[in-house]
Amino acid sequence: MSEADLRIFPTLEAAGRALADVLACELGEAVAARGRATLALAGGGTPRHTYEALANRHDDLPWEHIHVFLGDERFVSLHDEQSNFRMACDTLLNHVPIPVENVHGWEVEMSGPEAAATVMQAELERLFRDADGGPPRFDVMLLGIGEDGHTASLFPDSPALRVRDRWAVASEAPEQPRRRLTLTLPVLNAARHVHFLAAGEGKREALQCALGAREPMESCPASMVRPTDGTLTWWLDEEIAP
């Protein structure tokens, strides 16, 4: 596992702007090296500044060669204010010239989370067909962390944490909206560049657990993100920093 790289900033906004610059570089390098870049976005509220900063650089990136996924989603309407897809559109995707076919959201209008996860599984297999049956290898994986140590929609002690043969599954959150969809740990850990963005004193204990765990702990899913052949960087404000 690669050692975690901690980068600490006075504010979340400053961390978000610095992260956006690195994301732009990594996405551009991926397109230059392999003809395309694949990006999985984090949900929640923390990444808003990062996405807005990335959107401000819309001319700097070959968006026609960039594919964007949501690392996880709430099983709510795309128009719901709790939708991660809606947040990503409001802050980034509606402001850059990315082809609609390059945006791969979860099918939350389907009959249920399991059906939506099956559709995403097929989409991942289609887009990452060169993965030879292994997990999709995203160029860039953005993640957040909850105060309970969850990441994406992988919650403490969830059965979803043990899935190794599927890349997209339904999961359940301890709070509303409870029905969730998430990429699984094999996908998170296959990424070339994993970036956690986290801020606020309320998450300090979760961060310390994630960073301090000698072994991956299902009680702290963020501690289980250990890229097998990729970089791991934490972007933090001063309130959360160790």
Residue 42 binding ligand 6PG, by CB under 6 A: yes
115/123 Cα distance (integer angstroms): 13
Residue 171 binding ligand 6PG, by CB under 6 A: no
List the one residue out of 141, 234, 148 whose CA is nearest residue 185.
141
Residue 189 binding ligand 6PG, by CB under 6 A: no
Residue 16 binding ligand 6PG, by CB under 6 A: no
Residue with tokens 């909206």: 177
Element (H, E) at 16: helix 12-34
201/78 Cα distance (integer angstroms): 31
CB 188 within 8 A of CB 143: yes
Residues in the chain: 242
Q: Which residue's CB is nearer to ligand 6PG, number 17 or number 36? A: 17
The 57-96 site mask, x for binding ligand 6PG (CB under 6 A), equals ---------------x-x---------x------------
Nearest distance from C-beta of residue 94 to ligand 6PG, angstroms: 19
Residue 45 binding ligand 6PG, by CB under 6 A: yes
Radius of gyration of the chain (CA): 16
Give the residue, chosen from 18, 28, 29, 44, that forms a contact with ligand 6PG under the rule CB under 6 A: 44
DSSP assignment, residue 48?
Answer: H
Helix (H, G, I), strand (E, B) or coil at 235: strand
- Orientation of helix 48-55 relative to helix 84-91, angle to 10°: 40
Nearest distance from C-beta of residue 25 to ligand 6PG, angstroms: 23
Residue 43 binding ligand 6PG, by CB under 6 A: yes
Nearest distance from C-beta of residue 35 to ligand 6PG, angstroms: 29
Q: Give phi and psi for 194, each to the nearest 5.
A: -105, 130
Residue 46 binding ligand 6PG, by CB under 6 A: yes
Q: Which residue's CB is nearer to ligand 6PG, number 31 or number 149? A: 149
Residues between 107 and 126 with contacts to ligand 6PG, criterion CB under 6 A: none
Helix (H, G, I), strand (E, B) or coil at 89: helix
Q: Which residue's CB is nearer to ligand 6PG, number 65 or number 83? A: 83
Please report, as ranges, the residues that interact with ligand 6PG according to CB under 6 A: 42-46, 72, 74, 84, 144, 146, 150-153
